Amino acid sequence: MTIRYPNGKKYVPAQQTGNRQKTNLSFSNRGKTLEDELNETNDYYLANDLAVIHKKPVPIQIVHVKYPARSAAVITEAYFRSPSTTDYNGVWNGKYIDFEAKETKNRTSFPLQNIHEHQVDHMKKVTEQDGIAFLLLKFTSLDRYFMLSFEYFEKKWERMLAGGRKSITLSEVEELSIEISPGFNPRLDYLAALDSLLKKPETETIERQENL
């Protein structure tokens, strides 16, 4: 599945108008992590039968567990394992959705060291199976959110592997991503953004077929 991105065009949810909301959102966002915002969004999708997308539990290596009489088992020694997949996956309208969400405090670029190599491999394999893989990036200092398809991310990853820069500049992110304006509910309507992107190629295909 090819995702065509409108160069630097911002996705604005229909219900959002004017500058007033921007000020409010900047306020309501204080202290919330991207994970909180995505959990709220996914809860909204689930409650409204729009999608079933969950964050995966953090992978833990359990070494020792105590079983006290008459109470719950206690894990007394365990270690964090590095994730072999992305954080979020699920199903939306028959489509498999898979993404990694990352925050950066950087104001001018997204550092690629935020993403593990095995996560890149995972997203590549998902794309090969006709799943939809993308990254959801938050520039916390700028309070801006972007959805970057794996297809475009991979090009910048390969640039790094070829000895190029170890980050994606903000202007590249602006050009290649679809920007998501946060809202009240859902907080980050990434599926609406994805929907508008996926509809484009279909229209083009229909036009091409009509021209045959």
Closer Cβ to its own copies, 106 or 131, answer by number: 131
Closer Cβ to its own copies, 131 or 179, answer by number: 131
Closer Cβ to its own copies, 92 or 184, answer by number: 92
Asked if 39 contacts 55 with a C-beta cutoff of 8 angstroms, the reply is yes
C-alpha 33 chain-centroid distance: 13
Smallest separation (angstroms) from its own copies to the CB of 76: 6
Asked if 65 contacts 75 with a C-beta cutoff of 8 angstroms, the reply is yes
Smallest separation (angstroms) from its own copies to the CB of 98: 7
What does the CA dihedral 124, 203, 144, 8 come to, rounded to 10 degrees? 100
Q: Is 35 annotated as a binding residue?
A: no
Which string of b and e fits 194-209 if b means at least 16 CB within 10 Å?
A: beebbeeeeeeeeeee
CA dist 174 and 182 (Å) reads: 16
Smallest separation (angstroms) from its own copies to the CB of 33: 16
Give SS3 for 66: strand
Smallest separation (angstroms) from its own copies to the CB of 56: 5
Q: Is 154 annotated as a binding residue?
A: no
Q: Is 158 annotated as a binding residue?
A: no
Closer Cβ to its own copies, 35 or 175, answer by number: 35
Closest C-alpha among 38, 1, 32, 33 to residue 151: 1
Q: Is 85 annotated as a binding residue?
A: yes
Q: Give me the residues that bind its own copies (CB under 8 A), please.
A: 46, 49, 51-52, 54, 56-60, 62, 72-80, 84-85, 89-96, 98, 122, 125-126, 128-131
Residues tagged in the binding site annotation for Mg(2+): 85, 87, 100, 119
Residues tagged in the binding site annotation: 85, 87, 100, 119
